[in-house]
Amino acid sequence: MKRIIISRTDSIGDVVLTLPVTGILKETFPDSEIIFLGRAYTRPVIEASRFVDRFVDLAEISGSGHQDILAKNLAGLNADVIIHVFPVKEICRASKKAGIPLRIATSHRLFTWLSCNRLIHYSRKNSPLHEAQLNLKLLQPLGIKREFSLEEIPRYYGLQGVEQEKQNGRKFRLILHPKSKGSAREWGLENFGRLVDLLPVSRFHIMVTGTKEEGDLMKDFLKRYRGRVTDLTGKMTLPQLFDLIAQCDALVAASTGPLHIAAALGKRAIGLYAPMRPIFPQRWAPLGKNATYLVLEKNCDDCRHTGDCLCIRSITPEMVVEKLG
């Protein structure tokens, strides 16, 4: 295979868990060129992987949104294969129109049957496998058919962070990322506050990250703990956040992009989860040599139709402190 496009145009966490696809492709086809088709805001993370040769911004090749423009630009990439890790109708149709010879996707959408010529039959929603393992199943038409364990997947991220300064008596750098922009059930600011209260000032340098909008939602919390935490909400670009995570010792968050970045960089990434399919850790746990998670073993069905999940909020700050060591 000379040139392979990986198409994943959704959020940062999803993109991070797709990066092992690029690493395994590079291992199998070392002379291939790996092109990652994504959205501009995920570019810094994608380009940090040594296994990605080129990033292509979907918005730039879509033009005004006319499918002929997208098809023409996809054809210009001269790819042998496109793997629709999370299929998007417009991209699937344009890749067929572009004449890309091998077009791989899952089979549970009518438009993939009409636009792709290699379909993998499985349901993400009902699978017992992790998201990263499900992504790797899409490599089967390329002859990569073995199962990958959760323990071996992290070595295929290829993320290259800045070199971390050794601790040498300095404070433990801890990032708290309390909000999720609605992508996950949240632990709650009360729990994060209790966690801050439990951590000795003499040992921990605590930083709080998030968007400006999330900072506004947390203004009372940030005001209460302004002497204990460094407020970085709304103050960092994604490349700056990436470098901050690369320099930290640990990160605590729900199932969010920063959690998966920290895991992929080998940091102590502590994920907080609800025991609810399909958002439970069996599907979305952070994967990394120092990654772990907390979840209560209980039935969470009562929380399914509410945004407030008692099950995740019942994880105690003391349990997080124990994970921090």
What average pLDDT does range 255-259 have in this prediction? Answer: 95
Number of C-beta neighbours around residue 213 at 10 A: 12
Query: What pLDDT does 65 receive?
Result: 67
Mean pLDDT, the chain, as a whole number? Answer: 93
The model's pLDDT over 18-62, given as tens digits with 9 standing for 90+, comes to 999 999 999 999 999 999 999 999 999 999 999 999 999 999 999
Q: Which residue from 284, 295, 232 is spatially nearest to 259, judged by alpha carbons?
A: 284
Query: What pLDDT does 162 receive?
Result: 53
**DSSP H or E segment with residue 22:** helix 19-28
**Cα–Cα distance measured from residue 208 to residue 179, given in angstroms and rounded to the nearest whole number:** 10
What average pLDDT does range 105-129 have in this prediction? Answer: 90
**Low-confidence winner among 208-222, 228-242, 293-307 (lowest mean pLDDT):** 293-307
Query: What pLDDT does 124 receive?
Result: 78
Query: What pLDDT does 168 receive?
Result: 67
The model's pLDDT over 80-115, given as tens digits with 9 standing for 90+, comes to 999 999 999 999 999 999 999 999 999 989 999 999
What average pLDDT does range 281-301 have in this prediction? Answer: 91
**Cα–Cα distance measured from residue 198 to residue 292, given in angstroms and rounded to the nearest whole number:** 20
CA count, 13 A, side-chain hemisphere, 246: 14
Query: Would you place residue 127 in the very low, low, confident or very high pLDDT band (cuts 50, 70, 90)?
Result: confident
Cα-Cα-Cα-Cα dihedral sign, residues 169, 262, 292, 213: positive
Query: What pLDDT does 152 receive?
Result: 97
What are the b/e assignments for 119-158, b being 16+ CB within 10 Å?
bbeeeeeeeebbbbbbbbbbbebbebeeebeeeebbebbb
- Longest pairwise C-alpha distance within the chain: 62
The model's pLDDT over 129-164, given as tens digits with 9 standing for 90+, comes to 999 999 999 999 999 999 999 999 999 999 976 555
What average pLDDT does range 179-188 have in this prediction? Answer: 86
The pTM of this model reads 0.94
Domains, in order of start, for the chain: 3-156 (3.40.50.2000), 172-324 (3.40.50.2000)
Query: What pLDDT does 130 receive?
Result: 96
Whether the predicted pLDDT of 302 surpasses 80: no
% of the chain surpassing 90 pLDDT? 82
Between the two ends of the chain, the Cα-to-Cα distance in Å is 46
Query: What pLDDT does 209 receive?
Result: 98
Q: Is-cis flag, bond preceding 278, omega within 30?
A: yes
% of the chain surpassing 70 pLDDT? 97
**DSSP H or E segment with residue 55:** strand 54-57
Which residues, in sequence order, are CB contacts of 105 under 8 Å at separation 6+?
83, 84, 87, 92, 112, 115, 116, 118, 119, 120, 138
CA 195 from chain centre, in angstroms, equals 25
The encoded tokens of residue 212 equal 């400006």
> Tokens 């209260």 belong to which residue?
197
Query: What pLDDT does 262 receive?
Result: 97
> Tokens 């292509």 belong to which residue?
56
Whether the predicted pLDDT of 125 surpasses 80: no
Query: What pLDDT does 280 receive?
Result: 87
188 pairs with which residues across the strands? none
| Contact indicator for 290, 267 with CB cutoff of 8 Å | yes
Q: At residue 278, what are phi and psi to the nearest 5 degrees? A: -100, 15
